[in-house]
Structure 1
Amino acid sequence: MRILNLDGRLSLAVRDGAVDVETASGGTFPADVMSVYERWDEFAQWARDFSGAPDRSLDDAAVGPPVPRPAQVFAVGLNYRDHATEAGLGLPDRPMVFTKFPAAVTGPYGEIVLPSDTVDFEVELVAVVGRRARNVVESDAWAHIAGLTAGQDLSDRAEQLSGPPPQQYNLGKSFEGFAPIGPALVTPDEFADPDDIALGCQLSGVQMQKGRTRDFVFSIPQLVAHLSRILPLLPGDLIFTGTPSGIGWVRDPRRTIAPGEELVTFVEGIGEMRHTFVAR
């Protein structure tokens, strides 16, 4: 099952098109995309039983973020072994968690404004919570995930690492547009193995990052269990699960994003995001 935000309306991918959920469900489910996460089990059953034809074609210009207004956005640092190695850091003994503010969320296509010349790219798999999670054990964690989507943890490194000590992770990663997600939310059952998914990104046509989520330090079930021991995870919350090696900041010379460049982000089974960057 693939969930889309088309022109701000909850939509379901159907064959080579999509269907407007409010119309197809006779108003059982409203058009507001966020409303579905509070009723995820009910909606998922309806969507799996739906057998109608698409009522619109897919147009990139219409596609918005599949979770436009999350209550909480968590992100995990150093969650790939090769990324920890390239950063010259040891593997963490528990998830290294920071946040991206929800106002940073944007869609999978379009322009993003560069606040400086120190903006870096970080392709990520993003898990979307579909059921309130509190003190969840790892074996039950996938049952609390509505689906997966692609994300970029864009980071203004100068702001992120300002200090001393460096304490601006949240702000440096939360400029407007710095949390693009999409193009669809895909339910875990659509993947051959939701714990082993390929992902990567290209900047101006050059492959920068490439990895597989089987190389996580902490799996999605481990992240859900860890976070839910501390606070409730709410329907529609986002968990950015970390980035593989290849980020620009540790390259020699450093490679950050310049105005006019295009960043293409790919996650297997979900699709591509494409963003161009403009100067402030």
Structure 2
Amino acid sequence: MGIMIDSARFAELGSSKNSEPILDFLQDPKSEAKAKQTLEAAKKQIGDSREKNPKGVFNLDKVTVLPPISRPTKIICMGGNFSDHLQEGSTSLPPFPISFLKSPTSLVGHRAPIFYPRRVKLLDYEVELAAVIGVRCKDVSRKSALNHIAGFSVFNDISARDIQFAEMKRGFCNLGKNFASFAPMGPFLVTPDQAGNPDNLGMELRVNGQTRQFSSTKNMVFKMRQLVEFFSSMTLEPGDIITSGTPSGVAIYRQPDKTPFLLQPGDMIESKIENLGRLQNTVVAETSPVKTAF
């Protein structure tokens, strides 16, 4: 775990015996002061040192980047929360936030492969804003909702549309959203003071350099503070993730032919949100045998 010095380098914040060190960090009342101290020390070390790689300072391109949160107790994903996405799907405005749960085991980080399951035929992308809860909370007010967020990150809600839509005909949404690697997230967790207004952040997703989604969080039907208020009807734990839903431009609703826009093995996906960085993942064909129950 580290703190970014600039867009390319980070300073190590220290190790933890916990398998989820960021949770230790979020729950430590002295964490902010420790982070600032580490950052200033790293900057000074870089300035004073003639070495290209001072101790405790690492290049982001030289390390494996894990998702900011590896094992949240829950990932709450919004469905149909952007006005333009509702329009392209010919879906009516929901009376309250409609959601589904995504499995923590589907999380992967920046540059990790997205595995194309052998039984899937229609693979799709969805760039989303992810908010990470920082403190245990329940029944929070809309006014104070953002105070319970530790930070924001880029999220890609990968979807197996053939399985998802078959499930939805029976009123469910589960496996189509929950295959391994179907929740890329990262590359960073950006604190609220650095992220800017979560209600007005530019969003873009590209596949092989071609823009597929281009929008803003200002088009969200239910804003992030409303989502935190609503979903805190459940007890929210530190590290829990709430995502925004996605804007228009997904492959499945492309006209007249969705086929050229569906993801294929070898595709490189770049998911970007203003102030939060660029999440990059490549689609890879699943090679292990699959025993299907269908």
The alignment's TM-score, normalised by the length of structure 2, stands at 0.85
Alignment partner of 1:224 is 2:228: yes
Out of 5, 9, 25, which is 1:17 matched to? 9
Out of 263, 267, 270, which is 1:264 matched to? 270
Q: How does 1:122-137 map to 2 (within 5 A)?
A: 122-137=126-141
Q: How does 1:23-34 map to 2 (within 5 A)?
A: 32-34=20-22
Identical pairs, percent: 32
- The letter for the 1-side match of 2:41 is G
Q: Distance in 2 between matches of 1:40 and 1:167?
A: 41
- The alpha-carbon distance between structure 1 residues 170 and 125, as it changes in their structure 2 partners (threshold 3 A), is same
Q: Distance in 2 between matches of 1:21 and 1:272?
A: 22
Q: Distance in 2 between matches of 1:123 and 1:17?
A: 25
Q: Which of structures 1 and 2 has the bigger CA Rg?
A: 2
Single out whichever of 94-103 and 52-61 deviates more from structure 2.
52-61
Q: How does 1:1-280 map to 2 (within 5 A)?
A: 10-15=1-6, 17-22=9-14, 32-36=20-24, 38-39=26-27, 41-50=29-38, 51-53=40-42, 55-60=56-61, 61-115=63-117, 116-163=120-167, 165-229=169-233, 231-252=234-255, 253-254=257-258, 255-280=261-286
* Matched-pair contact (CA < 8 Å) for 1:33–1:68: no
Q: Deviations over 1:69-91 (max 9, x none)?
A: 11111000111100000000111
CA apart distance, 1:205? 1.6
Q: Deviations over 1:178-217 (max 9, x none)?
A: 0010000001111342321111101122110011111110
Single out whichever of 45-54 and 190-199 deviates more from structure 2.
45-54
Which structure shows the higher strand fraction?
1
The alignment's TM-score, normalised by the length of structure 1, stands at 0.89
- The alpha-carbon distance between structure 1 residues 43 and 206, as it changes in their structure 2 partners (threshold 3 A), is same
- The letter for the 2-side match of 1:264 is E
Post-superposition, which runs of at least 4 consecutive aligned residues in structure 1 deviate over 4 A?
A: 29-32
- The letter for the 2-side match of 1:170 is N
Name the counterpart of 1:4.
none
CA apart distance, 1:106? 0.5
Aligned residue pair count = 266
Structure 2 residues not aligned, in runs of 5+: 44-55, 287-294
Structure 1 residues not aligned, in runs of 5+: 1-9
- The alpha-carbon distance between structure 1 residues 102 and 31, as it changes in their structure 2 partners (threshold 3 A), is closer
Q: Deviations over 1:86-136 (max 9, x none)?
A: 000111110011111110001111321101231100000100000112000
Q: Distance in 1 between matches of 2:224 and 2:95?
A: 16
Single out whichever of 237-246 and 269-278 deviates more from structure 2.
269-278
* Matched-pair contact (CA < 8 Å) for 1:117–1:258: no
Q: CA RMSD in A?
A: 1.9
* Matched-pair contact (CA < 8 Å) for 2:212–2:250: yes
* Matched-pair contact (CA < 8 Å) for 2:213–2:247: yes
Q: Distance in 2 between matches of 1:192 and 1:271?
A: 13
Q: Distance in 2 between matches of 1:191 and 1:181?
A: 16
CA apart distance, 1:228? 0.6
